[in-house]
Structure 1
Amino acid sequence: MYDGNTIPFTTVTHLTKQYGARTALTDISFVVGPGEIVGLLGPNGAGKTTLIGCLLGFLLPSSGSVHLFGENAAELSPAGRGRTGFVPQTMTGFGWFKVGELIAYLGKFYATDPGLPPAWLLDWADLDMKARVKSLSGGQKQRLAIVLAMRHGPDLLILDEPVASLDPQARRDFMALLVTFCAQEGRSAIISSHILSDLEKIATRAIFMRHGRLIHDTPMSRFRSSARWITAPRDALPETLACLAEDRATGALLVDGWDDHHATLLTATLGTTPEIRIPDLETAFLEMTR
């Protein structure tokens, strides 16, 4: 979690985005600092892609603001653009380029041409530099998109479902590569993905969204140590428990900040110990975003 002691890479302040009468994002605020890998979680329609568009400056806020490295995201300087990298869910266009030609061509758009991607990145991508982009499979195109986003060593990577089209081996290797990449020089990543088992392994923080709102923002270290899934009568839960999800008719409840004191309170209130389990990220996601 950002500690406030360094210049933040991303600052989102009361961001609202409307399309006519429809509101896609409502009053979203968060800060991302160096060294964080932030998992952006939410069902389809939660507003994740709209948020990413605002982070990249592709979309303008209706109100509020988005800043990268202290600059307005929609007016980034060439230096600021050079500090960011973006991996879309699907790479489109550039079909007639050869892979090597495209890498060289797009390098000319940087303030300082980054040259060839590092060898470790090319080794992972395993692409034929002479192949036409249009001839690549979906997974190969996605690996190319990742190469283009990471080639210049950006301080901030923004990734929208980057591994959905990768095979399990390539996906696992990329996640390990991403952790190593971010550990170097305090780089950060904001990654939207529905593959929660991957995010649970690598994320340092999770941001949950639903219906265009940020509903929870928690360090993964806190989630692992003090999130609990409880089944108990709805009207018997002490008010002292911090509920992160709406109560359900089943009496199921997700609680953050759990400690032994809560167990004592529950037992005293109910006269018996309720079922208490440690949730995984998928369980938390399903409960908080339904």
Structure 2
Amino acid sequence: MVEPVPPCTIQGLVKQYGAKQALNAVSLTLQAGEIAALLGPNGAGKTTLIGCLLGFLSADTGHIHLFGEDINSLTPQTRNRIGFVPQTMTGLTWFKVGELLTYLAGYRAANTPQDNRWLQWADLDPQARVKSLSGGERQRLAIVLALRFCPDLIVLDEPVASLDPQARYDFMQLLPDYARAHGATVLISSHIISDLEKICDQFIIMQKGHIKLTLSHTMLHEHIRLLSAAPPTDWGLIPLAPGLNGGIWVSGWHTALTENAAQAGITASMPDIENLFLALSK
């Protein structure tokens, strides 16, 4: 049986700006239908990675394949399968909203499927000029432009930073529903980590140009713990980082260790991705 081609495969990506290495041998695979969070402090390399992934930047070495095609030679059909939401929408400001939607729809085949829930969610006046929209309204428009035609790979760079709380909440409800309905793969970078823990299947934590840790939602909740003290070495746990307020984050936890911890007077706390991320970023 032939294995399906992953929507996104990155191998050994290196990007240097003078003496600064923005990406250091980054490798990553995203599977169909997966929602992955790209986390990291400012300067970790997230924006550079997204730029290379979308072909906006050229890596010095390494390979990127989207749906099996090299990033430098994507066919128009594959490009139409990709949606991108930048942190801030710029350009095309002379259009009216309705005109812009119609204009860009002209680049699609007439039978291209549409998901008009995004138009309903955005609730924009089609007669309004793009230049007259508020920051939040422009961001809603950017999301509509990226997702309306049902892309199979969606890359979002801080998509909710300028949205009001209700719009952000509704977006975070719609996005996983969309991904499940269409089998779409999502890579989302955001500093609002509490939103991501609710919807993501995988967490990719970057630091200083490399991926420090990749873990699934299942692994996070079943095998990561914050211990109140360092465990004995014979427990076989892997130290990850000191806790922000004491203790230590470890990987490799399993339920058989619960009794051992109780006997040793060590408390094992359930994880949350925000505190783990902050500890790893120290």
TM-score for both structures, normalised by structure 1: 0.90
Give 1:244's match in structure 2, choosing from 240, 245, 268: 240
Q: Distance in 1 between matches of 2:23 and 2:234?
A: 32
Q: CA deviation at 1:119?
A: 2.9
Q: Distance in 2 between matches of 1:239 and 1:258?
A: 9
Question: AA paired with 2:281?
Answer: T
Q: CA deviation at 1:257?
A: 2.7
Aligned to 1:23: 21
1:36 to 2:28 alignment: no
Answer whether contact 1:117 1:147 (CA < 8 A) is retained: no
| Cα 1:119/1:261, change in 2 over 3 Å | closer
Aligned to 1:141: 138
Aligned to 2:8: 10
Aligned to 1:88: 86
Q: Distance in 2 between matches of 1:5 and 1:187?
A: 18
1:188 to 2:180 alignment: no
Aligned to 2:254: 259
Q: CA deviation at 1:101?
A: 0.9
Aligned to 2:198: 201
1:70-117 CA-to-partner distances (Å, cap 9, x unmatched) read: 11123211011000000000111111110011112222334x257795
Structure 2's unaligned 5+ residue stretches are none
Aligned to 1:285: 277
1:230 to 2:230 alignment: no
Q: Distance in 2 between matches of 1:114 and 1:262?
A: 56
Q: Distance in 2 between matches of 1:221 and 1:205?
A: 9
Give percent identity, aligned residues only.
48
Q: CA deviation at 1:224?
A: 1.7
Give 1:77's match in structure 2, choosing from 75, 78, 90: 75
SS in 2 for 1:26: strand
Question: AA paired with 1:136?
Answer: L
Q: CA deviation at 1:261?
A: 3.8
Q: CA deviation at 1:120?
A: 1.5
Answer whether contact 2:228 2:267 (CA < 8 A) is retained: yes
1:157-201 CA-to-partner distances (Å, cap 9, x unmatched) read: 000000011111111111111111100231110000111111000
Q: Distance in 1 between matches of 2:276 and 2:3?
A: 30
Q: Distance in 1 between matches of 2:30 and 2:126?
A: 35
Answer whether contact 1:263 1:273 (CA < 8 A) is retained: no
Aligned to 2:266: 274
Q: Distance in 1 between matches of 2:100 and 2:208?
A: 38
